[in-house]
């Protein structure tokens, strides 16, 4: 999905925040993809995504004593577990903003917040 380029013909143009056209949209869509895989709500048709969703669910349902200080386990905990890591996941996904910053600007002024707080 993300590989589809709906911004053809806009090469070299940037959004008002200085990032490449469509970059924030791609970052937000990646975050939503991860969220849907973890919650088991992905509509992706690829078989390996379905298997990945099952594996994630099994791991969370199995439960472990602690993951980053958070106790997890049981099917009813999947949503709670996601809410507990949601901020960390958003921070991880948007870390690409700082990477693109290094490639495009010598002194760099991107903070990582150019794509918003969280696309929940």
Residue 47 makes CB contacts below 8 A (sequence gap 6+) with none
Looking at residue 28, its pLDDT comes to 87
Write down the pTM of the prediction: 0.64
| Cα 10 from Cα 36, distance rounded (Å) | 30
Residues 82-89 have a mean pLDDT of: 88
Domains, in order of start, for the chain: 23-104 (1.20.1310.20)
Distance in angstroms (rounded) separating the CA atoms of residues 45 and 30: 16
State the pLDDT at residue 69.
62
């Amino acid at each position: 999905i993300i590989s589809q380029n709906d911004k053809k013909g806009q090469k070299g143009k940037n959004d008002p925040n200085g990032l490449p056209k469509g970059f924030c949209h791609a970052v937000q869509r990646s975050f939503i993809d991860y969220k849907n895989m973890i919650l088991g709500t992905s509509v992706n048709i690829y078989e390996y995504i379905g298997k990945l969703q099952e594996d994630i669910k099994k791991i969370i349902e199995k439960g472990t004593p602690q993951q980053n200080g958070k106790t997890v386990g049981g099917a009813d905990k999947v949503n709670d577990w996601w809410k507990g890591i949601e901020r960390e996941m958003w921070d991880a996904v948007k870390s690409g903003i700082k990477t693109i910053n290094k490639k495009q600007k010598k002194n760099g002024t991107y903070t990582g917040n150019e794509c918003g707080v969280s696309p929940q």
